């Protein structure tokens, strides 16, 4: 097996936290789908900003304010190129994927989706791409339609197509499932939705950190992702939206920076993207996200995707060879997520015992309870990989699973 896409030891050395000992053992961090770790370059960028650049933006003519404004807007341009968006004004900084989806629900959904209209979601969605649409449906009297999946965790495309009718007004779809790792055939699904005049939001939280994303090639109308899953900090996320849609949307929140003028009678809203960035934004976090994108680009998203696929293939082979372990989510096209259950052991016990060996995985419903319901499990154990993980770490995971089985035998 070829693991030499890039120098993994050099990459690991960029992440100080990977040198940590947990429970007296070297940390094996396999919870990257929840939050990935931060390289020194991003930590340094945060320190530099806080020590020599910090100020509020868009508000003053002094040196620091102009510098911080420049760096914040430069981060927006980095995100634009990262997503291959047409224009930087199509990039809106949010607190994360959740806020980005809520922004679309409020700004687009409340204006353009009404009573009896239908919104299509998939059975693979994270709660962040279910609950806002449910709230909208309750408010407006709209209806949610759900694309079912097969036992591998792949969406049933015939059933997807059959859901469309003249009432269909929106498709909100995850690019990659956080619970199972399924990579959805989003480009084809977007093209189908567009043939019916239906705009599409992609939840890219689990895709953007793991593969190149080109929103123009996908032709999605909205794309959302989070900084903390992409080697950046928490508190920052991105909403990409096509300019022509963002322009006709209502603001999400009211306050400073999103206005051109205010009187007690009337407010005129700012142009995009400011119209959607009310109040002082997470300036430091946006700049750090820009640094994270620079770092990922220095490795190359295509290299990351190829390397993580090798990790996933290796892990899938090793874990599926274990008696009494069931992998949940066996789609033909998967990102680096391995959800599993060990016969007779609650996933929380699996997580706790692995933690005793310094191995970090996530256990629970992964904020995707409908996925758990589909597979008739209350929860799973989930190992999720990043480009700084190694085959040796997967061996440790497998040793840990064997140890759990011995303890419960
Ligand atoms: N999934 C996980 O462990 P926020 O919290 O806004 O940054 O991201 C929400 C979100 C939305 N969509 C998908 C597909 C996601 O995976 C997540 C976050 C984490 O799987 C935390 S629940």
Say how many Å lie between the CA of residue 2 and the centre of ligand 1.
Answer: 31
Q: Which of 34, 137, 146, 367 is catalytic?
A: 367
User: What residue spans in the chain does CATH classification 3.40.640.10 cover?
Assistant: 44-298
pLDDT at position 141 over 90: yes
Residues 215 and 364: beta-carbon distance below 8 Å? no
Pairing of the two strands 359-360 and 200-203 = unpaired
Residues composing the chain: 409
Residues 28 and 359: beta-carbon distance below 8 Å? yes
Say how many Å lie between the CA of residue 375 and the centre of ligand 1.
Answer: 20
- Which residues contact ligand 1 via a Cβ below 6 A? 33-34, 96-98, 126, 128-129, 174, 178, 203, 205-206, 226, 237, 362, 366-367
One of 3.90.1150.10, 3.20.20.70, 1.10.3720.10, 3.30.420.40 is the CATH number of 8-30+300-407, namely 3.90.1150.10
- What pLDDT does 1 receive? 41
Greater confidence (383 vs 4) lies with 383
Residues 74, 296: Cα–Cα separation, whole Å:
16
Confidence of residue 132 (pLDDT cuts 50, 70, 90): very high
- What pLDDT does 293 receive? 98
- What pLDDT does 4 receive? 59
Instruction: Specify the residue with its C-alpha closest to ligand 1, atom 3.
Output: 34
Work out the number of other CB atoms within 10 angstroms of the CB of residue 342: 21
Q: What is the pLDDT of residues 346-359, one digit of tens each?
A: 999 999 999 999 99
The token duo for 345 is 């052991």
The pLDDT of 210-222, averaged and rounded, is: 98
Q: What is the pLDDT of residues 363-382, one digit of tens each?
A: 999 999 999 999 999 999 99
- What pLDDT does 60 receive? 86
Q: What is the number of the ligand 1 atom nearest to the C-alpha of 96? A: 6
pLDDT at position 2 over 50: no
Q: What is the number of the ligand 1 atom nearest to the C-alpha of 362? A: 3
Catalytic (active site) residue 367: yes
pLDDT at position 337 over 80: yes
Q: Please give the DSSP secondary-structure letter assigned to residue 24.
A: T
Q: What is the pLDDT of residues 146-174, one digit of tens each?
A: 999 999 999 999 999 999 999 999 999 99
The rounded mean pLDDT for the chain is 97
The token duo for 25 is 């053992």
Find how far residue 89's CA is from the centre of its chain: 21
Which run of H or of E encompasses 297? helix 283-299
Residues 70, 200: Cα–Cα separation, whole Å:
32
Residues 305 and 180: beta-carbon distance below 8 Å? no
Residues 277, 210: Cα–Cα separation, whole Å:
27
Q: What is the pLDDT of residues 19-41, one digit of tens each?
A: 999 989 999 999 999 999 999 99
Q: What is the pLDDT of residues 254-266, one digit of tens each?
A: 999 999 999 999 9
CA angle 147, 348, 371 (to 5 degrees): 5
pLDDT at position 240 over 80: yes
The token duo for 301 is 């998203």
Pairing of the two strands 325-328 and 91-94 = unpaired
pLDDT at position 3 over 60: no
The pLDDT of 6-26, averaged and rounded, is: 95
Find how far residue 218's CA is from the centre of its chain: 17
Instruction: Specify the residue with its C-alpha closest to ligand 1, atom 18.
Output: 34
Q: Which fold has domain 44-298?
A: 3.40.640
- What pLDDT does 346 receive? 96
Residues 42 and 374: beta-carbon distance below 8 Å? no
Q: Show the DSSP H helices in 15-140 as ranges.
A: 40-52, 63-83, 97-104, 110-112, 131-140
Residues of the chain with pLDDT > 90: what percent? 97
Confidence of residue 269 (pLDDT cuts 50, 70, 90): very high
Say how many Å lie between the CA of residue 269 and the centre of ligand 1.
Answer: 31
Which run of H or of E encompasses 314? helix 301-320
Residues 325 and 408: beta-carbon distance below 8 Å? no
Residues 296, 332: Cα–Cα separation, whole Å:
26
Instruction: Specify the residue with its C-alpha closest to ligand 1, atom 2.
Output: 34
Instruction: Specify the residue with its C-alpha closest to ligand 1, atom 17.
Output: 205
For the chain, counts of helices (H) and of strands (E): 15, 17
Of 57, 87, 20, 49, the closest CA to residue 291 belongs to 49
- What pLDDT does 107 receive? 98
User: What residue spans in the chain does CATH classification 3.90.1150.10 cover?
Assistant: 8-30+300-407
């Amino acid at each position: 097996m070829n693991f030499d896409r890039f120098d993994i030891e050099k990459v690991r050395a960029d992440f100080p936290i990977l040198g940590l000992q947990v429970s007296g053992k070297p940390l094996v961090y396999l919870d990257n789908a929840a939050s990935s770790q931060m390289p020194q370059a991003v930590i340094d960028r945060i320190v530099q900003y806080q020590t020599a650049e910090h100020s509020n933006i868009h508000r003053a003519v002094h040196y620091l304010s102009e510098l911080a404004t420049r760096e914040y807007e430069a981060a927006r341009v980095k995100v634009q190129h990262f997503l291959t968006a047409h224009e930087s004004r199509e990039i809106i900084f949010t607190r994360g994927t959740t806020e980005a989806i809520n922004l679309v629900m409020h700004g687009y959904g409340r204006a353009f989706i009404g009573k009896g209209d239908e919104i299509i979601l998939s059975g693979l969605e994270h709660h962040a791409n279910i609950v806002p649409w449910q709230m909208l449906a309750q408010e407006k009297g709209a209806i949610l339609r759900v694309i079912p999946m097969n036992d591998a965790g792949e969406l049933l495309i015939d059933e997807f197509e059959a859901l469309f009718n003249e009432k269909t007004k929106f498709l909100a779809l995850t690019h990659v499932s956080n619970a199972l790792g399924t990579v959805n055939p989003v480009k084809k699904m977007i093209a189908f939705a567009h043939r019916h005049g239906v705009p599409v939001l992609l939840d890219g939280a689990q895709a953007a950190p793991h593969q190149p994303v080109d929103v123009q090639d996908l032709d999605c109308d909205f794309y959302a992702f989070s900084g903390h899953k992409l080697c950046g900090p928490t508190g920052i996320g991105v909403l990409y939206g096509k300019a022509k849609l963002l322009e006709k949307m209502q603001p999400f929140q009211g306050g400073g920076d999103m206005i051109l003028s205010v009187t007690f009678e009337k407010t005129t809203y700012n142009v995009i993207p400011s119209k959607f960035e009310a109040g002082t934004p997470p300036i430091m976090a946006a700049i750090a996200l820009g640094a994270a994108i620079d770092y990922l680009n220095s490795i190359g998203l295509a290299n990351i995707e190829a390397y993580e696929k090798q990790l996933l293939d290796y892990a899938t082979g090793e874990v599926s060879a274990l008696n009494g372990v069931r992998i949940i989510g066996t789609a033909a096209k998967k990102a680096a997520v391995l959800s599993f259950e060990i016969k007779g052991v609650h996933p929380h016990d699996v997580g706790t015992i692995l933690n005793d060996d310094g191995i970090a995985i996530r256990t629970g419903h992964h904020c995707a309870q409908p996925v758990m319901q589909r597979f008739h499990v209350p929860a799973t154990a989930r190992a999720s990989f990043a480009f700084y993980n190694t085959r040796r770490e997967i061996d440790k995971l497998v040793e840990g699973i064997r140890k759990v089985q011995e303890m419960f035998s």
